[in-house]
Structure 1
């Protein structure tokens, strides 16, 4: 198949509501990895789906692709008050992730949105865009041999997870100092996020336990991001903390779903057993997150080459010059 034909076939899997959600997720991440306008359009065509979890992940992937051609789609989702809060939040975060100043106008429009998670996300996205603008100015000054230029954000710890984050890391200090910043609810959210990502990049057990304390903070958006970074680290040291929030039925579904996905990434037997408990949860987004998380756990324990395996499934089911149908492509 040509590259275009492959994207079309993978896009069909993503759009097919009869396909298992776990296979649609794998197709989505395959499209993200392929990139380009055709992949963007295939992803954006799914924003009318009934699954808030899937739509939230669509927005996340569009942001991670960092292609300005996704901006109109993400703007439409952010502005659509009929979309779920977690979907609008992820669209706002994705607008910041793309890193283009064209998103500033729409983000400023929603920094006082009545949905607090959306408002906080837009504030963070604006913080990232302004930080990028400052960095570009500093770079420009340094190239002009300005001896007075102070590079406050040089030598930051590299992100070993290759994700585009809502905020840059802070400078490395003692874990206790970073934890104090992380948990200080009087500080701007952007500053606390920076401490969060430095702790994430350190990835020591001490840093993991410091991050887990953030699951007790008042902002649901903040707790959800804490769960996300704990999933990236994949340390068993935080299983108990994540399971506590997942089991709390009074917790925001946005947080519970992220705790479930983090447990899926950690993929220990204990974590998988916890996920099994919530496959029939009353919240759809939690149920679906557990399904996807268990699929991720199977991948983590399987030795498979990659999670985004939409292309390999197409190739394995395309024989004698015949192109696999979407249903064939995801059949075991």
Structure 2
């Protein structure tokens, strides 16, 4: 990335922050900035938190967490503290702090662990556990094939699908430990482990269900489609969960997914509608010869 100029990064940031550009273009610009990294990219991403799309702001926070740069902590702190921001945005800011893993965020996460918005409170509790785990210096054999910074590490010892499933579905366990079991199941990448994960879409915690959908999107296994479809089609489901189900279907990207997503591309809930639009763009990418989804650099010339 050393050959990319500051002017190019600012130009990609200009696409991200241009509300007249299609949302799918702005998403591709965002993920390009995530891949580039550095202070100029973080500044461009931070600028977009005044947008009126909760979906976009949620993804901004996600990308800042994945970048794992402590320079992002100031803006993430402001977003978490801003109670006018949508719950899914504040939740993602807290999760991003956990992903960065710096001890300076511990007092803030402790404070917002008591937030009246349950998704924010639960996220802060998980993020606290992750930061403490990172700071403890524990090592784990992480066989994550997705190169994502997860809210918790997989379990330290080898366990069977049934053993992991028992922890994963046990509501008496902490969310952090249940997440650990889920990421261990994900890393196995077998049909039985995928189906075990899909059972979590019936959990009582909306935060948990949303993370389950995200993981199923990483796995891209068609056997999970009926489960994701059921939650997307449930109008009483939390929109944060429905959004994540839509994006997971976009990642799987087969003909069944495209048909489902097209049915909800005009959903009454804006975040669900926008997620379906972005997911359909992901389907287009998955079924095309395009080299990469985050193509903000290649589109700088000739796209204006």
TM over 0.5: yes
Tell me whether 279-288 or 172-181 shows the greater mean CA deviation. Answer: 172-181
Structure 1 unaligned blocks of 5 or more: 139-152, 318-327
Aligned to 2:269: 283
Shift of 1:303: 2.3
Aligned to 1:41: 43
TM-score (norm 2): 0.97
- In 1, the alpha carbon distance for the partners of 2:161 and 2:121 equals 29
For the aligned residue pairs, the C-alpha RMSD in angstroms reads 1.1
Aligned to 2:259: 273
Aligned to 2:199: 213
- In 2, the alpha carbon distance for the partners of 1:295 and 1:104 equals 37
Per-residue deviation, residues 251-274 of structure 1 (Å, max 9, x unmatched): 000000000000000001001100
Q: Is the 8 A contact 2:197 2:212 kept in 1?
A: yes
Aligned to 1:22: 24
The structure-2 alpha-carbon separation of the partners of 1:2 and 1:63, relative to structure 1 and needing over 3 Å to count, comes to closer
Count residues in correspondence.
301
Aligned to 1:322: none
Shift of 1:172: 2.8
Aligned to 2:65: 63
Aligned to 1:227: 213
Structure 2 unaligned blocks of 5 or more: none
Per-residue deviation, residues 20-68 of structure 1 (Å, max 9, x unmatched): 0000000000000110000000000000100000000000000000000
Aligned to 1:179: 165
Q: Does 1:165 align with 2:154?
A: no
Pairing partner for 1:53 from 55, 74, 77: 55
TM-score (norm 1): 0.89
Question: What does 1:147-166 align with in structure 2 at a 5 Å threshold?
Answer: 153-154=139-140, 156-166=141-151
Q: Is the 8 A contact 1:157 1:172 kept in 2?
A: no
Per-residue deviation, residues 153-189 of structure 1 (Å, max 9, x unmatched): 54x3411000000000013311011111110001111
